[in-house]
C-alpha cells in the first residue's frame, strides 16, 4: 500500500508552507501533501528574529536592494536570480500581510521597516523581534484553510525514490508508530532547511541536520557552494542563542575587553554615536565575524567558561526602546543568561548561523533531477552568494518557496501517476533500516560520540578561517567517521517514537553534508565572503568567480566541479563598507 499525491513537500518551515499554498492556489484540484519531521510550527523558521527585506519605502529601489545583495555576497550571487528575488519580494511580503502576519506599523498604519546589516536603506520588515515566529504561524494557520493540503506531521523522510530518471516520491517513517511508508508523488519539493548542527556552536535548532541536502545528494543531485558557512557575529557563548542583528541596527555597539568599538580597526568605517548604514556594526556578518577572530588573536577579547567573547552594548538605547523594539532580546538575556541588557552588556561570540550553499537549483527551484525541486535554506538558487545579508533569507523562503510550489505544480500536472515499481525500493529501504539499526547485532559506536567528533572536526577545520592542511586532515577524519558509522549501534530498538533512530539517521545526513563542505572548501583556493583561506587571502575572480558543485562520487566522497556565475548588470567590484 502506498500513499499517492500530486505534489509532495518535504518540510513545514517557511519555504515548505509557502510552496504548499502556491501549489494549492495554482490549481485547487491538485492533491498536495506536506511531510515534516516536526509539527510545522516547530520548524526553525520560528526562531528568526530580525526581519525580512523587501523594497517598499519611497527613495528605495529594486536596484539598490539587488546591489546590496550582490556586493554582500561578494559577487558570487547569480544576478538573474537576485533580480527576480528583489522584484517579487514586495508582493510576497504584502501577501503575507494580507494573510494576517502582524508586521510592526508606523503610526499612520503603514508597515514599518528597519535598517539591517549590509543594507543601504531601511527595508527590513519586522514583527517586533519575532519576525520568523509570526511569519511561520501566519503561514501555517493560512494553510489550514486549504482542504487540498494534507499534512503528515512528525514523519521523517529517509530516502528519495527515483525511477526512470525521475523523482517519484519518498520513503518516510511515521515517528509515533515506527511505520515505514512510501509516499509517492508526481513532483517533490525539498524544503528541509539548513545544517548548522554539523558545527558545535550554532544558532540552529536540533532539527537542522542537512537532511534534504543529503537526500538530494544521495539521489544524484549536486550540492552547490557548500563551503560558504555564515557565522553570525552575536550569539550567546554557551547556548549559541542568537542575539538578533536588530540590536545593532537599533544602535547597539560591539566592544572589546577595553570597551573599545574595535570594528573601526577593520576597515568598517568610523564610530558614530548613531548607526550608519553599511558601516561599523551594520557591516556584513562575514566581516564582523572575521574581525572577532583578529581581535582574539590580538588578545583583546574576554575569556569565559565557554571560550572567548566580546560585549554587545545596548544599554544606551534605554529601556523604553528595548522593550518596544527588542523585547525578545531582553527576554532571552534574562531567561538564558541571567543578565538584563538594559543595565548590563551582553556577552557574544560568532556562532554558525546559516548555509549559503545547498541543493543546486535553477531560478524556478528545479534541481538537476527531474521532478525534484528545492526551496529555502536547503536550496542554493543562488542569491546569497558568498555571504547572505541578514533579512534576505526569510524573504527568499517566500519568493522561491512560491516559485518552487508553482513550478512543481505545473510539472505535476503534466506527469502520469508515479510508477508502482518504486515500491520495491521502498521495501528495500524498510529492510535496510531494520538490518542496519533496529535489528542490528554487534556494533560498538555511539551516536552522541560520533556526532561530537564530527562537530569538533568541523569547527577546527571549516570555521571562520581555513587552510589547506587542516582541511585535508578534516577530510580524512570525516572519511574515518563514515567508516565508523557502519559500526554504530542503537540502545533503543522500539518502533514507537524512537528518537535515537531519528538521531542516527540525522547523523548520517550530517556526515555527508560535512564532507561536502570540507571538500568544497579545500578546492576553493581563494578568499571570498564567508570563505576565508589564510593560505589564499585574496579573492580570485579569474579562477573562482564560479559556483562549486559537489556530486557524490563512487566511493561516497564528493567530487567537485565548477559552474560559472550569472552576471547581468553588476560586474565584480571591490566590497566597500564604511566609506
Partner 1 sequence: MPPSVTLAVTRYRPEQESEPTLQTYEVPFRKDWVVLDALNYIKDNLDGSLSFRWSCRMGVCGSCGMMVNGSPKLTCAAFLSDYLPGPIRVEPLNYFPIIRDLVVDMTDFMHKLKKVKPWIIRAQEKPLADGEYLQTPDQLEMYKQFSMCINCMLCYSACPVYGLEQSFIGPAAIALAQRYNLDSRDEAARERLEILSEHDGMWQCTFVGECSKVCPKNVDPAGAIQQLKLVGAVDWFRFLLPWGTR
Partner 2 sequence: MSPGTQYTPYHPKWYRRRMSVWWWLQNRSYVYFVLRELTSVFVGLCALLLLWHLRALVQGPEAHAHFLAQMRRPFFVGLNGVGLLFILFHTITWFNLTPKAMVVRLGGKRVPDWTIAGLNYVAWVLLSVAVAVVLLRG
Ligand X SMILES: Cc1cc2nc3c(=O)[nH]c(=O)nc-3n(C[C@H](O)[C@H](O)[C@H](O)COP(=O)(O)OP(=O)(O)OC[C@H]3O[C@@H](n4cnc5c(N)ncnc54)[C@H](O)[C@@H]3O)c2cc1C
Catalytic residue annotation: 232, 248
Figure out which of the listed residues 76, 157, 471, 507 binds ligand X, where binding follows CB under 6 A: 157
Is 57 a binder of partner 1 (CB under 8 A)? no
**What's the rounded Cα separation, in Å, for the pair 304 and 559?**
40
- Closer of 171 and 447 to partner 1 (Cβ): 447
490 binds partner 1 (CB under 8 A): yes
| Interaction mask 88-117, ligand X, x per CB under 6 A | ------------------------------
- Beta carbon nearer to partner 1, 144 or 571: 144
Q: What is the full DSSP assignment across 267-329?
A: TS----SS--TTSGGGS-HHHHHHHHHHHHHTT-SEEETTEEEEEEE-GGGHHHHHHHH-HHH
Q: Which stretch binds ligand X (CB under 6 A): 50-58, 80-88, 293-301, 327-335?
A: 50-58
Rounded to 5 degrees, what angle do the CA atoms 233, 524, 74 make? 50
- Contact residue for partner 1 among 440, 446, 479, 559 (CB under 8 A): 446
Distances (CA, A) of 91 to 7, 24, 53, 55, 384: 24, 18, 12, 10, 20
Helix pair 211-218, 499-523: axis angle to 10 deg? 70
**Would you count residue 447 as binding partner 1 (CB under 8 A)?**
yes
Binding site for partner 2 (CB under 8 A): 174, 176-179, 495-496
Nearer to partner 1, 110 or 439 (CB): 110
- The least distance separating partner 2 from the CB of residue 177, rounded to whole angstroms, comes to 5
Q: Which does 427 bind (CB under 5 to 8 A by kind): partner 2, ligand X, partner 1, none?
A: none
Instruction: Report the residue number, 151 or 524, with the smaller CB distance to partner 2.
Output: 151
Q: What is the DSSP string of 179-194?
A: EEEEEEEEEEEE----
Closest CA to 236 of 333, 374, 119, 342: 333
44 sits near ligand X (criterion: CB under 6 A): yes
564 — alpha (psi -120 to 50), left (phi > 0) or beta? beta
309 binds partner 1 (CB under 8 A): no
DSSP-derived letter for residue 9 is E
Residue 192 binding result from ligand X, partner 2, partner 1, none, given CB thresholds of 5 to 8 Å by partner type: ligand X
Contact 20, 34 (CB under 8 A): yes
Cβ closer to partner 2: 48 or 490?
Answer: 490
Residue 134 partner contact from partner 1, ligand X, partner 2, none using kind-dependent CB cut-offs of 5 to 8 Å: partner 1
C-alpha cell at 236: 550567546
The item of partner 1, ligand X, partner 2, none sharing an interface with residue 174, based on CB under 5 to 8 Å by kind, is partner 2
Cell of 543: 579562477
Closer to ligand X by Cβ: residue 211 or 295 = 211
Q: Per rule CB under 6 A, is residue 132 in the interface with ligand X?
A: yes
Q: Does 566 bind partner 1 (CB under 8 A)?
A: no
Binder among 114, 134, 524, 552 for partner 1 (CB under 8 A): 134
Q: What is the dihedral of CA 169, 171, 176, 177, to 10 degrees?
A: 120
Q: How far is the CB of 181 from partner 2 (least distance, A)?
A: 10
Which of 45, 69, 461, 482 binds ligand X (CB under 6 A)? It is 45
Cis before 561? omega within 30: no
- Minimum Å gap between C-beta 498 and partner 2 is 11
Comparing CA positions, the residue from 175, 159, 179, 173 lying closest to residue 509 is 159
In the complex, the smallest distance separating the C-beta of residue 242 from partner 1, rounded to whole angstroms, is 8
State yes or no: residue 303 binds partner 1 (CB under 8 A).
no
Residue recorded with cell 515506527: 178
* One of 15, 34, 41, 356 touching partner 1 (CB under 8 A): 41
CA geometry: angle 556, 557, 558, nearest 5 deg:
120
517 close to 229: Cβ distance less than 8 angstroms: yes
Between residues 133 and 400, which has the closer beta carbon with respect to partner 1?
A: 133
110 lies in the site for partner 1, by CB under 8 A: yes
Q: How far is the CB of 108 from ligand X (least distance, A)?
A: 25
241: contact with partner 1 by CB under 8 A: yes
With contacts defined by CB under 6 A, name the span among 103-111, 203-211, 453-461, 491-499 that binds ligand X: 203-211
Give the residue with the Cβ less far from partner 1, 38 or 462.
Answer: 38
User: In 10 A of CB 144, how many CB atoms?
Assistant: 9
Q: Helix axis angle, 392-413 relative to 131-143, nearest 10°?
A: 20
Q: How far apart are the first and last CA of the chain?
A: 64
**Binding flag, residue 392, ligand X (CB under 6 A):** yes
Q: Is residue 98 involved in binding partner 1 (CB under 8 A)? A: yes
DSSP string for residues in 100-138: T----B-TTSSBPEE--TT-SS--EE-STT-HHHHHHHH
Backbone angles phi and psi of 263, in degrees to 5: -60, -25
Residue 327: CA count within 13 A, CB half-sphere: 7
Query: Does 12 interact with ligand X (rule: CB under 6 A)?
Result: yes
The span from the CA of 484 to the CA of 445, in Å, is 7
Q: Which residue, 132 or 341, has its beta carbon nearer to ligand X? A: 132
Q: Is 35 in the site for ligand X (CB under 6 A)?
A: yes
Residues that bind ligand X (CB under 6 A): 10-16, 35-38, 40, 43-45, 47-52, 131-132, 156-157, 191-194, 203-204, 207-208, 211-212, 242, 353-354, 376-378, 390-394, 397
Which spans of this chain sit near partner 1 (rule: CB under 8 A)? 38-39, 41-44, 46-47, 91, 94-95, 97-100, 102-111, 130, 133-134, 137, 141-142, 144-145, 153, 176, 205-207, 238-239, 241-242, 331-332, 335-336, 446-448, 490-492, 494-500
Amino acid at each position: 500500500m502506498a500513499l499517492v499525491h500530486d505534489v509532495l513537500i518535504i518540510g513545514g518551515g517557511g519555504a515548505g508552507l509557502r510552496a504548499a499554498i502556491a501549489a494549492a492556489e495554482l490549481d485547487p484540484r491538485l492533491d498536495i501533501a506536506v511531510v515534516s519531521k516536526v509539527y510545522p510550527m516547530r520548524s526553525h523558521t520560528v526562531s528568526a528574529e530580525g526581519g525580512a527585506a523587501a523594497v517598499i519605502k519611497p527613495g528605495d529601489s529594486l536596484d539598490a536592494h539587488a546591489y546590496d545583495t550582490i556586493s554582500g555576497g561578494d559577487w558570487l550571487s547569480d544576478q538573474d536570480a537576485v533580480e527576480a528575488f528583489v522584484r517579487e519580494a514586495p508582493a510576497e511580503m504584502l501577501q503575507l500581510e494580507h494573510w494576517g502576519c502582524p508586521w510592526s506599523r508606523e503610526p499612520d498604519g503603514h508597515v514599518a521597516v528597519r535598517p539591517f546589516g549590509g543594507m543601504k536603506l531601511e527595508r527590513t520588515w519586522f514583527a517586533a523581534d519575532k519576525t520568523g515566529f509570526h511569519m511561520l504561524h501566519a503561514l501555517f494557520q493560512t494553510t489550514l484553510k486549504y482542504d487540498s493540503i494534507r499534512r503528515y506531521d512528525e514523519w521523517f523522510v529517509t530516502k528519495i525514490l527515483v525511477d526512470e530518471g525521475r523523482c517519484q516520491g519518498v520513503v518516510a517513517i511515521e515517528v509515533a508508530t515506527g511505520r515505514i511508508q512510501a509516499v509517492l508523488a508526481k513532483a517533490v519539493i525539498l524544503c528541509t532547511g539548513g545544517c548548522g548542527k554539523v558545527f558545535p556552536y550554532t544558532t540552529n535548532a536540533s532539527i537542522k541536520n542537512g537532511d534534504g541536502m543529503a537526500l538530494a545528494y544521495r539521489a544524484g543531485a549536486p550540492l552547490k557552494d557548500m563551503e560558504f558557512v555564515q557565522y553570525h557575529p552575536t550569539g550567546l557563548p554557551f547556548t549559541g542563542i542568537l542575539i538578533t542583528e536588530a540590536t545593532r541596527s537599533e544602535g547597539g555597539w560591539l566592544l572589546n575587553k577595553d570597551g573599545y568599538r574595535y570594528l573601526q580597526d577593520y576597515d568598517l568605517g568610523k564610530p558614530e554615536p548613531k548607526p550608519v548604514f553599511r558601516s561599523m556594526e551594520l557591516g556584513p556578518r562575514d566581516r564582523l565575524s572575521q574581525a572577532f577572530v583578529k581581535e582574539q588573536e590580538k588578545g583583546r577579547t574576554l575569556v569565559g567558561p565557554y571560550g572567548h567573547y566580546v560585549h554587545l552594548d545596548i544599554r544606551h538605547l534605554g529601556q523604553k526602546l528595548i522593550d518596544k523594539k527588542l523585547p525578545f532580546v531582553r527576554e532571552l538575556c534574562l531567561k538564558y543568561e541571567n543578565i538584563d541588557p538594559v543595565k548590563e552588556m551582553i556577552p557574544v561570540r560568532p556562532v554558525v548561523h546559516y548555509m549559503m550553499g545547498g541543493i543546486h537549483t535553477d531560478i524556478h527551484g528545479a534541481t538537476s533531477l527531474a521532478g525534484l525541486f528545492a526551496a529555502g535554506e536547503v536550496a542554493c538558487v543562488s542569491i546569497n552568494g558568498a555571504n547572505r545579508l541578514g533579512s534576505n533569507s526569510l524573504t527568499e523562503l517566500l519568493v522561491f518557496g512560491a516559485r518552487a510550489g508553482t513550478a512543481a505544480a505545473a510539472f505535476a500536472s503534466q506527469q502520469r501517476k508515479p510508477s508502482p515499481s518504486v515500491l520495491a525500493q521502498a521495501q528495500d529501504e524498510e529492510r535496510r533500516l531494520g538490518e542496519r539499526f533496529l535489528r542490528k547485532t554487534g556494533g560498538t559506536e555511539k551516536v552522541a560520540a560520533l556526532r561530537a567528533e564530527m562537530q569538533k572536526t568541523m569547527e577546527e577545520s571549516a570555521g571562520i578561517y581555513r587552510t589547506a592542511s587542516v582541511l585535508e586532515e578534516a577530510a580524512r577524519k570525516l572519511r574515518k567517521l563514515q567508516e565508523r558509522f557502519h559500526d554504530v549501534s542503537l540502545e533503543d530498538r522500539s518502533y514507537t517514537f524512537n528518537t535515537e533512530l531519528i538521531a542516527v539517521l540525522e547523523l548520517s545526513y550530517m556526515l555527508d553534508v560535512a564532507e561536502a563542505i570540507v571538500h568544497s572548501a579545500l578546492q576553493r583556493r581563494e578568499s571570498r565572503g564567508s570563505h576565508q583561506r589564510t593560505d589564499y587571502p585574496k579573492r580570485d575572480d579569474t579562477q573562482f568567480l564560479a559556483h562549486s558543485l559537489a556530486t557524490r562520487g563512487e566511493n561516497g566522497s564528493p567530487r567537485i566541479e565548477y559552474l560559472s556565475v550569472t552576471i547581468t548588470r553588476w560586474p565584480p567590484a571591490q566590497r566597500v563598507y564604511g566609506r
